[in-house]
Structures are given as structure tokens and as C-alpha cells.
Amino acid sequence: MKVFILVALCLGVQCIGPEQVHIAFYTSPWDISVSWITFEDADSSLTYGTSTSSMQNLSGTTNTWHFGGITRHSHVVILKDLKPSKQYYYQIESRVFNFRTLPADLTTYKVCVFGDLGVYNGRSTQSIINNGIAGKFDFIVHIGDLAYDLHSNNGKLGDQYMNTLEPVISKIPYMVIAGNHENDNVNFTNFKNRFVMPPTGSDDNQFYSIDIGPVHWVGLSTEYYGFLEQYGNQSIFTQFDWLTENLEAANKNRGAVPWIAMYQHRPFYCSVEEGADCTLYENVILRHGALGIPGLEQEYIKNSVDIGFAGHMHAYERMWPVADLKYYKEEDAYHNPVAPVYILTGSAGCHSSGMKFSPIPMPWSAHRSDDYGYTVMTVANMTHIHFEQISIDKNGGVIDSVWVSKDIGHLHTEEMRMGKKGNAFY
């Protein structure tokens, strides 16, 4: 069977046919959103099925938006109640794509996690595309700073970035969260109009959650804090109110979904020299809150969050378990951790060079590297998760790996931390 994929023809800014095709998880691993852009008005419809000879038609919605004098039409179709472990084909006009759904038994899967990937100097791009197409991971989590920047050159750089990644993100789900570089000075218009993430009841796609196997995934916006003066604080409170209810519900469901993994753009902790060890005023507000604005770290601690990913600083760093400015460094620190385990993975390749670390490693820093690369997280079962840092500088070699494990029913608590030797940063 031959499947022909026709590339959209672009003349100037006017493109003929669909482009920037990508998929994402919607309400479950078997509900998939298919999104694409056209530069002329077109139907939001596609055909799909488990073979190219037997496909059904499905219509979606169109959102027309304007930026920098260019009109774009964002289309989305939701494929619902897909069957596990099935190859699906979908056709948008003359372009044919395919993806494979996750298995019914979602005990084991792999995720590619990174932040800060641009068009220029995108060192990890080809590796991510190649390995994603080859099935080395099942979906992607991009924790902010896309394209550098989606809105540059009237949004054309964002178009270029999405078309570059299209071979992989049309095949495996691409889950994104906004970073500071998504601020286009019109309240993240490019980000909001290009992506469809799991619904929350809000009209904002910058925070959401989804259960995938034994992991409750939560994506949050730290940019509500970073751009507080520009856009006000209402989004901070909306997200926080949603988060408290979301984590409360997730904790009640720990028997079925034992792990909670958060991802956000700005980190709570790091030892990157330019980040002032992540102790700048904006980081303090993000972690602890101020002047009536709620911080996020206490919610992570109170709700026994297991894993926290961040980017923003262009390096890789794995922390010892950390809670409220104390770290817990022991031989078995990653088994039944007594605090969240944070991983900084912002070295995928942005337009600027890599950041420098503080001259002497901070004592709470378990491993750090300024190599370009990305993280692969393997969910092994209900009790074990494996992390590997892939180095582009080392030809795709693994430069750091660690197992995080916990017994059934383990939740970290303040009482548990009081029984351990907690070391203060400063």
C-alpha cells in the first residue's frame, strides 16, 4: 500500500492546503485532537479510520485569528473513543497522516520531555523527530519556549517551526505549555490559537491535566506570575483555584493513578549562574507567593507531588528531593522520596548559547550538564519511573539516568520529612 503525503504549497504568506498538522491528547489517551492551519478559509473536516480504504468523515471547528497583518484559520477535529493499540490514518484534503494509539494496558510508556527549542540553533530537533518517528517515545511534553518565537516575523517563524516538527507531531501527541517567549504582547495570542490541550472548563489552554496510565499529568503556566504587571493577577487565581481542586481529586484517585507529575516553564530551583540560583523575586512569588498572591510550591508539597519538570534555564539539572528550601540527600533518596523530585530540562536548543552553572555545584544538585539534549521518562509500572538525559553533544548518548520508585500507597508528608535530615540551602 502506498500512502502519498503532499506538502502544502505556500506562495508568500498565502498557503494552499493544510499545514502545521499536529495531534494532542484531549480528554483521555483515546481522545485525540487533530489541529492544523490554513491561510485561506477552508472546511474543518477530515476523514479517518484504521485503513485508508475505509475512512469516515468528521467535522470540527475553525477559529479565524489575525496577527501582524496575516489572517490564519486554525482548525481542530476531535477523534473520540479510539481503540487502543490501533493504527489510525487521517486525511486532511489530499494529505494523509497516521498515528498509533496507546495500548489498553498503559502500565508502561515513554515520554520525551524538554523545554526551550527554537528554529535557530535547535540542536535537538532532528534527534527528536527521528526518534519520535522510530517509536522511541510515545508522546512529547514541551515545557515552554517554542520556536523563539511563535510570533516572530508576524508569526511566520512559528509557522516554520510547526512545519519543521510536523513529521513527528502529526504522528505522536505534542503536549505544550507556555513559556515567557510565548508572550506576544497580546496575551499569548499565538499560543492560544495554535494549540488545543485537554479542556478544563476555562477558555485558557495554558493549564490542564490528563491521566495516562499510572501518572496524573498536570501542566501549569508560570507566565501568569512572570507577566503579572502586564496582564493582572486574575489568571493566577483562576489557575490556583483549579489546581487545588485538581490535586485534591488526584490524591483521592491514587489507588488507580499513583503518580503526579507536574510540568511548568520556570523552575523553583536551579543552580544556573544567570538564574541567581532561582532566587529572583519572580521565583520567590512563584514558589511562596506574596501580597495575597498564592504560590505553587506549598500545593505541590501538601499534595505529595512526585515529579516536577521545568525549563527556562538552558541546561539540565536533576535535584535531590526538595521541599521548602530543604533538600534530602541520602543513598536511597529516590526510593519513597520524602519531597518532590525536580528536573530542569531546558537544553533542547534555543537561539542563544547555553547557560553557565555556578562555579561550585550546589549541595542539593544531584547532577547537572550544559550539553544540548532532552529527557526521556519511562513509566515502567505502578511503582517505578526511569529518567534518562539524552545528550546531542554526545551523539545521543545517555549522560544521566536515575530510577525514582515508591511503594504502593507511599505519599510524602511533613511528618516523614521531620524524621529525615533536611539540609537548608542557605
**Mean pLDDT score, 400-414:** 97
The pLDDT value recorded for residue 275 is 60
DSSP code of residue 272: B
Which residues, 6+ apart, have CB-to-CB distance to 348 below 8 Å? 114, 115, 116, 117, 122, 123, 124, 125, 128, 372, 373, 374
**Mean pLDDT score, 97-107:** 96
The pLDDT value recorded for residue 117 is 97
Tell me if residue 15 falls in helix, strand or coil: strand
- Closest Cα partner for 58 from 83, 32, 40, 37? 32
The pLDDT value recorded for residue 158 is 98
Strand order, beta sheet including 45-51: 54-59, 45-51, 87-92, 95-100
Mind listing the pLDDT tens digit for each residue in 336-346?
Answer: 999 999 999 99
Give, in degrees to the nearest 5, the angle at Cα 37 between 34 and 41: 115
Place of cell 544556573: 272
The pLDDT value recorded for residue 11 is 42
Q: Give the domains, in start order, of the chain with CATH numbers.
A: 1-103 (2.60.40.380), 106-424 (3.60.21.10)
Give residue 203's pLDDT band: very low, low, confident or very high (50, 70, 90): confident
